[in-house]
Amino acid sequence: MKTLENLFKDELADMYDAERRIIKALPKLAKAATCPDLKEAFQVHLKQTEGHVKKLEKVFRSCGEKAKGKTCEATVGLLKEGDEIAAEFKGSPALNAALIAAAQKVEHYEIATYGCLHTWAKQLANEEAAGLLKDILDEEKDADTVLNALAFSYLNQAALGETNQASSNSAGQRPGNLRRGATVRSTASILMVR
């Protein structure tokens, strides 16, 4: 009979595979991005994702298991779609907005899965795993926040192809974040505000 523990380990293997695939995909997204802030966001999240793999290995150990992956079909599909979007919108003013959309689809999948894994770890009384999974969940939410801030600050507007981003950036300032009313200074500063 399959139990919550079986489900937990199965989803853990799924995310272990997903994170390793994302490590390979993020440099491609950074290379495709034409916005320096978006490139930086992808590079920062790459470092975090490398840390997620290490944390997942600790979660496996906390369960008395060796880390192993199981093909994450959802991530395979989302990354394939991201590659297609990047190719389709290459050279377009909507490229960065398209890359954000592709990345956020992955983030939202991860947020949903890590939310479940965190809850299940608590129900299984594995506090070490619960803590590690909460850390990963928080970083995934932060990455999504950064992508939202970039989209709402100026990249969605630039995607219209009607703005003159060069003139707004000529004074060395980026347009304000319409959602939060803040100016996007750097990805690192956004990540520090939770």
Does some domain include residue 63?
Answer: yes
If one counts the domains in the chain, the total is 1
The CATH number that applies at residue 89 is 1.20.1260.10
Does some domain include residue 23?
Answer: yes
Domain range holding 126?
Answer: 4-140+156-166
Give residue 44's Cα distance to chain centre: 10
Cα separation, 39 vs 45, in Å, equals 10
Does some domain include residue 80?
Answer: yes
At CA 130, angle to CA 127 and CA 136, rounded to 5? 145
Q: Residue 89 pLDDT more than 50?
A: yes
For 3-38, the pLDDT digits (tens) are: 999 999 999 999 999 999 999 999 999 999 999 999
Does some domain include residue 178?
Answer: no
Does some domain include residue 119?
Answer: yes
The chain-wide mean pLDDT, for the chain, equals 85
pTM over 0.75: yes
